[in-house]
Amino acid sequence: MVLAIDSDLFMSYHILREKGTDMAKLEKTIDGVTSDLYTPKMIGDLVWENRTKKRMTQKELAAIIHATQADISNIEKAKVNINLQTAVRLAEGLGMQLKISLVQDKSQKPRKV
C-alpha cells in the first residue's frame, strides 16, 4: 500500500481549514473523488488499517517510530495533523512507501525562489 500526498491539494486542505471551512463536509465531498488528497481522517484510517493488518499494537508502532502510544491514537482518531517527518516515519514503520508529488499550478508561471 502506498500513502501518496499531493502537496498542492494537501496545502489547499490546510488553507481551507484555517479559513474555517466545514472540513467534515469537505471530506465527504472529496472522499473517493481523488486518491491524491489525504485528510487527517484518511491518514488515520490508513495507519489503523495497516497497523492492525500487521497485528501491531499502537504501543509497538510508537516504539518503532519514536513516538508515544497517545501520538498513534491521536493520529488514528484524526485529532492531529501530521507533519512530513511523521508521515515518513509512519510509512517506514508500517513497511509502506511515502510518495509526494509536486505539480505545477496551471494558473501561475514558475518563478525564482
**What is the per-residue pLDDT across 70-84, written as a single tens digit (0 to 9) for each?**
999 999 999 998 988
> 73: helix, coil or strand?
helix
Give pLDDT tens digits for 14-49: 555 555 655 555 554 444 444 445 678 888 999 999
**Distance from C-alpha of 58 to C-alpha of 1, rounded to nearest angstrom:** 19
- Mean pLDDT confidence for 53-73: 97
| 17 SS3 class | helix
pTM above 0.85, yes or no: no
Rounded distance between C-alpha atoms, residue 12 and residue 37, angstroms: 9
Q: What percent of the chain has pLDDT over 90?
A: 42
In this structure, what C-alpha cell is assigned to residue 53?
493488518
Give the list of residues 6+ apart from residue 96 with CB closer than 8 angstroms, or none.
1, 2, 3, 50, 90
Q: What is the dihedral of CA 93, 73, 84, 37, to 10 degrees?
A: 110
CATH 1.10.260.40 fits 2-101, yes or no: yes
